[in-house]
Amino acid sequence: MEDQPGRVFFAGVLSDQLNLHVDLRGTRQREDVIALVRAALSVPEGERVLVDVVRLFEGAAVAADFERLLTPGGHPAGGASPLSGPLTRHDTEAALALLDAVKGQLPGAALRDALAMELRFEMPPRLSPEQLFLHLAELNVQPDGLPPAVLCMEHAAGLVPAPAYQHALSSWARGWAERAGLLDALRRRRSQRAAAAPDPTIPRCLVVTVEPAGDGSGDIVVRPWLNTVPGYWRPQPALPETITLDGLGGAVERALRQVVRLGPGPEERTVDDYQVMPPYVEFVMPYELLNHNVAGLTVRSGDGKPLPLGLKYAVHLRSLERMRTDDILVRAQWLERWTRLQRRGITVHGWRSSDSDGLDEWQAALAAEPDRTATVIDAPDDGPAMEALKAAIAEGVPLAVWDRRGTFLEERREVVTAVFAAVQKPTQLPLVIHRLRRRAEVDAAGPLLLGRHIAFFWDDPNRLVDIQTAGDDDLAHRHGITYQGSRHTDDSEEAPV
């Protein structure tokens, strides 16, 4: 706190943790410290968050001293006084000793991701395994009676490579569960964990649903959903915003900071994290906004120049109307064509302006050929092209590409045809389109290249958010889908199912 840059840095970390902007004048130390503490105390559980940030900057001893000022009775959690939860001092000391012994082998981000998946809530980033354990030791037990800290040891046992430490960590969890009479609950957890294999096609992802505010103002309602654990689809809702369309880039930037904050640290990131599966940013848009240049929205990093979103992220379009439909036939066709796309590859049913007189015949041909999994069309910014896209969406087509500038010229269609032919597996296509856009952004001829103007519609029916699930249970069970969230009927925020 002694220098202004240090206070600003501290405020930035605290803002991320609180999900609340903390504004400092930066001139007087006392005023800045008061602003930081007041911001923390204005948020439920903000005291704990403030202590966690102090621990990150100054270590456990300073955090314990600081927490005594905030805790009635002067006994900080995890400090020298006995813990009030289900873990005894001996339990905690033994667990911390084990975690300290494996700290060079245990990836903190992987441990946090695994726990976030099982516990269904997010945790502070950049904590060491010991700090994560102490954080979880203060949380309530799960419905089956198991404390999150015990599950932390379970997951740590599955992540360390050395068999001796695997056994020691697992034995600690088993011993605690046996003494607490919860051995059956622990066995059930282990069985469920073994059956829940990760899906490598599910990315770390920000899904942004956009819809008109419906109040005659022209504003839009933006609802971000954060899927921060790759391999599993468990999107969590962030706070919605009502803004103008011009403010969409700023809303996306604010939501992205939460996804990045929960990503792997630099020491744990590999080249493959971004070359094989870049983070996705997906826009669930109504028909009238599907031609909006979402890949060109700019986001700022620090004091640098704002850069296009498509430079760093794989940006996709998705259909709001189809995601929220309660038409079982539409859902079934969507799932069927998506399955064919993954198993048999990309087969195009193209549309051109010259087809506008025979739009009914075009849709009939598409409906008669369920093997067609993609469409390449002119920009859907007028009547015939938009009707063609609506027809493709209604028939379940999950993949569409167009040139946002208008007519999709034949030589540019050939580029897309070549891209489709070069893709060995459809799951590689988002990465290929991402590279096409990135190349256009760094090339001097970028404004002339298709990558600067291509719209990429990539709509996975297995990754849904913010939907109405009435009447869908039978279809969901047949296809093994778990719907996340529900359609909002007002501005209140609902927890996902």
| Burial call 291-311: b when 16+ CB within 10 Å, e when fewer | bbebbbbebeeeeeeeebbbb
Query: What is the structure's pLDDT at 261?
Result: 59
Residue 229: Cβ-neighbour burial (10 angstroms; 0-12, 13-18, 19+) = buried
Residues 470 and 110: their CA atoms lie apart, in Å, by 35
> pLDDT tens, 464-479?
987 643 334 444 444 4
pLDDT of residue 338: 96
Q: What is the CA radius of gyration of the chain?
A: 25
Measured between alpha carbons, how far is 463 from 469 in angstroms, rounded to an integer? 14
Closest CA to 369 of 403, 405, 395: 395
Residue holding tokens 């529900």? 486
Per the structure block, which two tokens stand in for 312? 């760093």
Helix (H) or strand (E) holding 99: helix 89-101
Q: What is the chain's pLDDT, residue by residue, as a tens digit (497 residues)?
A: 888 888 888 988 888 888 888 878 777 788 888 888 888 887 777 888 898 889 888 887 788 878 777 655 444 444 333 344 688 888 999 999 999 999 888 888 888 888 888 887 777 777 889 989 998 988 888 888 899 999 999 999 989 988 888 999 999 999 999 999 999 999 999 888 877 778 888 888 999 999 998 888 889 999 999 888 788 888 888 888 999 999 999 999 988 887 765 555 544 454 444 445 678 999 999 999 999 999 999 988 777 888 999 998 999 999 999 999 989 999 999 999 999 999 999 999 988 877 777 888 889 999 999 999 999 999 998 789 999 999 999 999 999 999 999 888 888 899 898 999 888 899 999 999 999 999 998 887 778 788 899 999 999 999 998 764 333 444 444 444 443 433 333 333 333 33
Angle at 345 between CA 275 and CA 429, to 5 degrees: 25
Domain range summary for the chain, segments of one domain joined by + = 4-74, 89-195, 205-479
Q: What is the pTM assigned to this prediction? A: 0.65
Helical ranges in 233-286 per DSSP H:
248-261, 271-275
